Amino acid sequence: MHLFKLIYRNTFRHKQRTWLTILGVTIAILAFGILRTLVNAWYAGVEASSSVRLITRNSISLVFPLPLSYKEKIQRIPGVENVSYAVWFNGTYISEKNFIPNFAIEPESFLEIYPEYVLPDDQKAAFFRDRGAVIAGRKVAERFDWKIGDTIPLIGTIYPGTWNFTLRGIYHGAEKNTDETQFFFHWNYLNESLKKSLPNRADQVGIYIEKIADPDLAPRVSEAIDETFKNSLAETLTETEKSFQLSFISMTEAIVVVIQLVSFMVIIIIMAVVANTMVMTARERIGEYAIMKTLGFGGWHLSVLIFGESLLITTIGCVFGVALTFPSAKIFREHIGTYFPVFTISLNTMLLSLAASTLVGIMAAVAPAWHATRIRIAEGLRRIG
């Protein structure tokens, strides 16, 4: 008990130095937490992917479409329970600054395959009935203050023109990592317009989504789908939803690696700062340690004092840093939520922050503790004053 009291008093003996060191640890843990959350947000789509969903696209590139006629053939493949399709519309709301992920979908089958998009029954029924209807995620509806019944215009880029939709539903996510920023409307609405204006682009889809009976069937079903359309004008590539999401991340893998490296570099830098503080502290107290040895304190007592002081500083800094991570993440979410719809502090990130601060506290105290335990009493006493 006396050792803990002594650790506390020693820690705050030089208040300015201690609080500046705590501030440094706080900033480092805050930066570490935000950077790790950013990495997690990058992989949010992968984490939210289902093991019973497959994605089929054109084998050349995602930008090339697939014929609508493929749906019936895919449906007949053993192991496939349901098939839906979607087209990336890429429309803009008012201006290009208002980016919204928007897709033309086949409503009934799509919402059945994606049960994580939760809609009230009355809104779902209204969406199914109205071909000009749209459903939007809770976050995007809050962002633009949309209400049920509002008319929402999108300016087409891939499909030119102004497209007007009526908001019939606002979905929320069944899980924390469900994307609530998307915008879905009827593929039939798009296709009917294309038949009049761009008939060569009608009756085509961007991707097919298959729900399979068992995750273990994924390799077999994927191979069967691709074999069905082999040597056709539009050959396919079928993969699990997780692999499909990872293919997008691989395009920006270098950025993710850099963010991860920076997050760990922050910890290494603050380790040097805390180590410098502890070395200065131990050097000032060499005489005190010598006196303690003459009173019967052993080397382990001195080690406990030094390690305890270092860990107390880093723990306080960690608590402040983690506490500040939540409001900081909220600010980040308001500014970059369009590109990272899932930006939440995970338990894993908090545990990593705690582990990092503990490691910093231990490593920073190793050299001072080793030196203090090896100092001779006579040598230490000569350095008093």
Nearest C-alpha neighbor of 74 from the set 271, 190, 312, 234: 234
Half-sphere exposure of 156 toward its Cβ, with a 13 Å CA cutoff?
A: 16
Q: Which residues make beta-bridge pairs with 55?
A: 209, 239
For the segment 159-165, the average pLDDT, to the nearest whole number, is 90
Helix 299-336 to helix 347-374 angle, to the nearest 10 degrees?
150
Residue 204, exposed/middle/buried by CB under 10 A (0-12, 13-18, 19+)?
A: middle
Q: Which two tokens stand for residue 379?
A: 């040598």
pLDDT, tens digit, 9 for 90 and up, residues 112-136? 999 999 999 999 999 999 999 999 9
CA 234, CA 57: separation in Å to the nearest integer?
Answer: 9
pLDDT in tens, 318-343: 999 999 998 888 887 776 666 676 77
- Summarize pLDDT for 190-237 with one digit per residue, the tens: 999 988 888 888 899 999 999 998 999 999 999 999 999 998 889 999
Q: For the whole model, what pTM was predicted?
A: 0.74
**CB contact at 8 A, 72 and 228:** no
- Where are the domains positioned within the chain? 2-44+253-382, 60-234
Q: Does residue 305 surpass a pLDDT of 90?
A: no
**Helix (H, G, I), strand (E, B), or coil: what is residue 152?**
strand
Give CA–CA dist 139/180, Å, rounded: 5
Two structure tokens written together for 52: 């019973």
Torsion of CA 172, 128, 47, 337, to 10 degrees: -50
Q: What is the mean pLDDT of residues 287-308?
A: 76
